[in-house]
Amino acid sequence: MTTETVRNLASLEFIPYIDETGQLPAQLQGKVGVYAICDRHQVLQFIGYSRDVYLSLKQHLV
């Protein structure tokens, strides 16, 4: 068993998931994780978990 510190959501860095050209970062493909979506004012709108973060974020754009 390992001990890990769980960080507060407010302490995490805000990282836009769409680049200047409207593309998703390719390095997210196949990544398992938890993600949060905020509006343009960085107000939390959604928290999700996924077996492929890239595909999940892509579905939010549809």
* β-strand partners of 37: 46
Using one digit for the tens of pLDDT, what is the confidence trace for 3-49?
Answer: 788 888 888 888 888 888 989 989 999 999 999 999 989 899 999 99
Higher-pLDDT residue of 55, 2: 55
DSSP state of 27: G
Amino acid 17: pLDDT: 85
Domain ranges within the chain, ordered by starting residue: 32-62
Amino acid 33: pLDDT: 93
Sign of CA dihedral 15, 34, 25, 22: negative
Amino acid 1: pLDDT: 61
**Residue 42: Cβ within 10 Å count:** 8
Question: Does the reported pTM lie above 0.85?
Answer: no
**Residue 41: Cβ within 10 Å count:** 5
Report the C-alpha gap between 51 and 34 in whole angstroms. Answer: 9
